[in-house]
Amino acid sequence: MKRFSTGRLNKKASLELSINAIVIVVLAITLLGLGLGFIKGMFGKLTVLGETTFEKTAENLNKDLTTSREPLVFSKTRLTMPRGSTSLEGFGVRNDGDIQIKFGVGIVLFDCPDALKNATGGCSQDSAKWFSYLVGNEQYTVPAAGTKTAEVQLTVPRNAKTGLYLFTFKAYQGKWPADNNCAGDYDASTGTGCDVFGQTEFFLTVG
């Protein structure tokens, strides 16, 4: 009768377990590396795509500024977007003067679906907050006899009311008033007051 050594079996089993564990760890590290590389590549492609998309938008804006009499243009006059979606838009400003100017931009909700209107006919929801851009006075600079283009990201919330919205997009010098009523009393020497030097409108249909 042959005798088996349990010590040898235990050592062999331990060795096999160690080899299996090493193989699993190597495979896990490899798969993790491939996954991270894939994610990095996807984000890189998205970044390049976003930059390329706005480059085309900026090119179109500059063309519009060349042919338009208005010093301010927006990338779209009409948009249709479903709730929860995001769109990268932009605007362009032309300076016809002989000195550099600093300015800010403001987006004001002018009209909205009936479901959002209050008793006086005004809009109870400030949908202008759906837009992401440099908010504040003198956030942008445009050189003398030059143009400036910049990005505006529009994100429609999932709980937004469907219907037609009308926005006014304004470029101004001075200080933007809390009531959005830029009265045109800007004083360049003191930087007080507010003067809209460019304005355009665009429609947004939320589906």
Sorted by where each begins, the domain ranges of the chain are 1-67, 70-206
pLDDT value of residue 203: 98
Q: Report the range of poorest mean pLDDT among 44-53, 136-145, 149-158, 191-200.
A: 44-53
pLDDT value of residue 23: 65
Q: What is the pLDDT of residues 160-186, one digit of tens each?
A: 999 999 999 999 999 999 888 998 889
* Cα distance between residue 65 and residue 60, in whole Å: 9
H or E segment and range at residue 110? strand 101-111
pLDDT at 63 over 90: yes
The pair of three-digit structure tokens given for residue 132, joined into one six-digit string: 């992401």
Q: What is the pLDDT of residues 104-157, one digit of tens each?
A: 999 999 999 999 999 888 898 778 889 999 999 999 999 999 999 999 999 999
Q: Report the range of poorest mean pLDDT among 16-30, 36-50, 152-166, 188-202.
A: 36-50
pLDDT value of residue 47: 38
Higher pLDDT, 27 or 144: 144
Region label for 191, one of left (φ > 0), alpha (ψ between -120 and 50) or beta (otherwise): left
Look up the pTM and report it.
Answer: 0.73
Q: How many residues does the chain have?
A: 207
- pLDDT average, residue stretch 15-32: 67
Average pLDDT score, the chain: 84
Class of the domain covering 70-206: mainly beta
